Chains A and B, each alone.
Chain A
Amino acid sequence: MISCTEFIPAYSELFKFLDEKGGKEAVFRFWEILSDNFLGNLRELAEKKGLAGCFEYWSRSLTEEAADFKMSLDEDTGLFEIDMRYCPSMGRLLEEKHIKPYEYYCEHCDTLYRRVLEPLGFNYEIDLSNCKDAKCKLRIKKMKEDYEVQKI
């Protein structure tokens, strides 16, 4: 068994393998499939509870992953933010000196979550400028109500 505590290095090696076999397109397509099939719980929570659902989803996943983070939700202004001070995913890869992370590893968070949340009417922004130091920032905002009118 690859323990779930050993998954992240296997995940990074998968991205490298897919990139070698089928280029970045193959990696990206995998991320899309994972987003569509694996993140049902986030989709359901966000649909039912909006930003509070996002807060609930990441409360569980980030505590189980033992991340170093600050997460805030302001339902009045419609803003949800995560300040990832030390990502357990990239952080783990940086600590494993004998392997090198996939070059575009952090982009999977952009693809996976954006693909779930934008179709539900959220604005999704992620700052990966410091991701090589295992830091990033995420902002999700409720779209303005007139967005729904434009969609129609």
Chain B
Amino acid sequence: MPDKIKVIDCKQSDNEYLHKDFHGALCYAIKYLDDNFGEKATEEYLIQVGKTYFKPLSEKLKREGLEALRSHWKNIFKKEQGEFNIYCENDKLICEVKQCPAIAHLKKTGSFFTDRYCQTTVIVNKTICNDAGYQFTCEYKSGEGKCVQKVWIENFEQATRCRKV
């Protein structure tokens, strides 16, 4: 083939799906919503994402308990190479994010970042959990790339599922 002709031919299975630049696009989405429709609209959007795309996860959490969420979080943080610790304590599922892989990528690449980005975690996860009957909190400082997320249920029978985690 002449030097001036280049071809790449790829199947899906040739590569692992992981395009971290998408985190930057989500930052622009949050900013666009905030600037044009207000923070309340941004919250509505994130609730919509939680209720639509993440509905199966919410249903799994309701059906199977905290293991469903633990498994999901472990899977995504591993794929994205985040630093994290997930464990159960006093019937609560706790996820300590020591380095958020999304924020780490944005900082490393010098990409646009909004302090409001963490709302994607706060609101989407709160929606997933609340829809399954669980409580959710997230303690963080914007832009630090660390947080502590806690999930629990105010119901003894369902709380026993946590002990199996």
Contacts and interface: CB of A to CB of B under 8 A. Distances in A.
B15 interface: yes
A86 B101 CA distance: 28
B56 A98 contact: yes
A17 B45 contact: yes
Contacts, number: 142
Contact of B10 (A14, A26, A63): A63
Contacts of A1: 76-77, 80, 82, 97, 100-102, 120-121
Given A38-B24, A71-B8, A10 B53 contact: yes
A122 to B, nearest CB: 17
Interface string A13-35: 11011100110001001100110
A132 B97 CA distance: 38
A2 B37 contact: no
A21 B12 contact: no
Interface stretch (B28-36, B63-71, B129-137, B154-162): B28-36
Nearest to A97: B56
A69 B41 CA distance: 37
A46 to B, nearest CB: 16
A13 B23 CA distance: 15
B115 interface: no
A62 to B, nearest CB: 7
Interface string A115-150: 000000000000000000000000000000000000
B165 interface: no
29 contacts: A1-B97, A2-B120, A2-B124, A3-B76, A3-B79, A4-B19, A4-B20, A4-B22, A4-B23, A5-B76, A7-B19, A7-B25, A7-B26, A9-B49, A10-B26, A11-B25, A17-B45, A22-B37, A38-B24, A38-B28, A55-B6, A63-B8, A63-B10, A64-B18, A69-B8, A70-B9, A72-B5, A73-B6, A73-B7
Given A21-B37, A55-B6, 6 more contacts: A3-B79, A10-B49, A37-B112, A62-B10, A63-B15, A76-B5
Nearest 3 Cβ contacts at the A-B interface: A7-B22, A3-B76, A66-B17
